[in-house]
Amino acid sequence: MTHWQLTPLVGSIAPVVLKEEKVTFGRQQGCSVVLDDDKCSRVHCELAPDGTGAWILTDLKSRNGTKVNDQRISGSKVLVPGDILKIGAHQFLVEATSTLGDASAESSVAEKPGEIETIPVASAGSSEWAATSSPTFDSIEIGLAEAGEYRNKPTGPSSAPAIARTDRDLPWQTQLIELIDTLPPVGVEPERVSVIDAGGKPSAALSGSSEGPNSVRLILQLASKTRATDVHVEPKRETYNIRMRIDGQMVQIVELPHRVGELFFGLIKTACQMRVAGHAAVQEGHFSAMYPDRRVEFRVSFTPSVHGQKLVLRVLDERGIPKSLAEMGLVQYMIDRVERVCMQDHGLLLVCGPTGSGKTTTLYNALRKVDRETRNVITIEDPVEYQLEGVTQIPVDDHKGNSFGSMLRSVLRQDPDVILVGEIRDEETARTAMQAAMTGHVVFTTLHAKDTVTAVFRLLDLKVEPYLVANALDLVLAQRLVRVLCEHCKHPVPIPPGVATRLGKHIQGKDEMLAATGCTRCLRTGYRGRRAIFELLEFNDELRDVVLHNPTIAAMKKVIESGLFTTLPQYGWRLVGEGVTSLDEIDHVAGQG
């Protein structure tokens, strides 16, 4: 069966379960739900069933009015799941939740109170409380451990707690739980997680075990276990489609029923302290999730689409991020060159690659080689994703006129020794960064370019004078991220003659190489995790002469090939020979060379 519930978003009150009788709200003691709230009238409003399963809200001429989705109602209004009801200073989320209908289920739960973490539940018209340790929402604990209580048990209604439901009733929950179960580490108790809202306070928006909170619990758990960098929730005509970007690739996860998707959106907006009713607007915000061993920031973006708003959650999880250049996979001679620039009193390190290739992580690890106690280190970033000890980090805000170029000019008056410029986007930023590198500053920055050679021509294309490019640049580092073969399903394949010729020394003496297969532990992708591949261009006098007098790709390559130089594909072929990744992945990411 289905019952309606008002889950509090603002205000220290238990959830209100709506039964079959009329419910009144107000400060007066005779009301069904008494609210200790100066902004609430003595008899403020009432909720009454309409006989068809819906509930009608009526304002009883209250002083401050009754609002639904930030809109003051006039007279009566039919509520729907997902509505936000505001009575005085109190706010409630309207939910329609399924319950286990047979007596055996209720007795099973009652006999094992330790298996399900309960929350205070106020029945309308009653002063009784459900089993709980506290009658207020001091913090929000998302009980993902609850999912572990019934793993490998029958899924009948008598044995499954509310989070499981049954396959017939809520298949989306079953799909998510099975995914979480099969991903490594297998058999480990699910992480417990709490949510901190945009104001830095524990959020009560996700309390309870109904469909809305359960969808958020499971998706946060799955995002953590898959190491997803983005969660996409896309509205369709009748469902909400959830995909995650895992190891750089979009992976289909599950489709939520429309009602669950609406609840999911409402809870995320509440955690971000957004206007819940803004269905046709661009909205951006943030919230945090507290896991047992770390805090993870989520950047939230809602964008209007044909069937409603699309949601993207950007996951900023520092777990697993390399903390050194060696951890990133740079070979020793490249590390030596980068560290040498870090020790100089002037120069420029330029890292290039597409969005999401790890450029900022590389620069952060380079900054770790800088003595931050004796040198003034300042970064200009858009946005500041991770905080570094001993570094002044400045966010860019184009809406306020704080662009990379303007902030860089300001920072140069702050007596810096080392400057990190998040990205060169225009002529002004490029020229200022080059001039700074020639006047006693070490500059780290990034550029969108295919490889090291095209990065040089991109700077020239931005109308930076050749003498600035030639004299300011010390190192240009190009990089990509390639997926690592899944240890559980990778398999050997014969090496074709043409491939053997192309890979040369990297597969010398071998007649097989490894390829991707796909299994449940890697979500059928054949890969789990990523590694970086690099291409390093070190500027010397010969190269500077070419840039100054004859800046052509052919002339540059002639000088480069006479020295120690490894292209991105060649770097990847080494990983193919070591069995780290597949040749298909290298060809896809870096080209065939």
Q: Is 311:265 a contact under the CB 8 Å cutoff?
A: yes
Nearest-angstrom CA–CA distance, 430 and 432: 6
What residue type is assigned to position 392 of the chain? T
Phi then psi dihedrals of residue 305, to 5 deg: -140, -175
Question: Please, where are the H alpha helices in 183-246?
Answer: 211-226
Residues in the chain, how many?
593
Percentage of the chain with pLDDT > 90? Answer: 57
CA distance 245 to 356: 11
Residue 517 carries which side chain, given as an amino acid letter? Answer: T
Alpha helix segments (H runs only) across 447-552: 452-461, 466-472, 497-503, 541-549
- pLDDT above 90: residue 457: yes
pLDDT score of 557 more than 50: yes
Q: What confidence category does residue 593 fall into, taking pLDDT thresholds of 50, 70 and 90?
A: low
Beta pairing partners, 481: 532
Contacts of 30 (CB under 8 A, 6+ apart): 24
User: Hey, what's the torsion of the CAs at 148, 149, 151, 152, to 10 degrees?
Assistant: 150
Q: Where are the alpha helices (DSSP H) in 56-155?
A: 103-111, 145-148
Contacts of 289 (CB under 8 A, 6+ apart): 193, 194, 195, 196, 220, 295, 296, 298
| Contact of 568 with 535, CB cutoff 8 Å | yes
Task: Indicate whether 390 pLDDT > 60.
Answer: yes
Burial label for 293, CB within 10 Å (0-12, 13-18, 19+), is exposed
Lowest-pLDDT choice from 187-201, 386-400, 532-546: 187-201
pLDDT tens, 88-143? 988 888 887 654 433 333 333 333 333 333 333 343 433 333 333 333 333 333 33
Angle, helix 452-461 to helix 553-560, in steps of 10 degrees: 140
Could you report the per-residue pLDDT of 146-190, keeping only the tens digit for each?
Answer: 333 333 333 333 333 333 333 334 489 888 988 888 888 766 666
What's the pLDDT at 98? 54
Q: What is the mean pLDDT of residues 423-433?
A: 94
Q: What is the pLDDT of residue 156?
A: 35
Cβ neighbors of 20 (< 8 A, separation 6 or more) are 49
Radius of gyration of the chain (CA): 29
Whole-angstrom distance, CA of residue 78 vs CA of residue 57: 6
- Domains, the chain, ranges and CATH? 1-137 (2.60.200.20), 139-318 (3.30.450.90), 325-590 (3.40.50.300)
Check if the beta carbon of residue 201 is closer than 8 Å to that of residue 253.
no
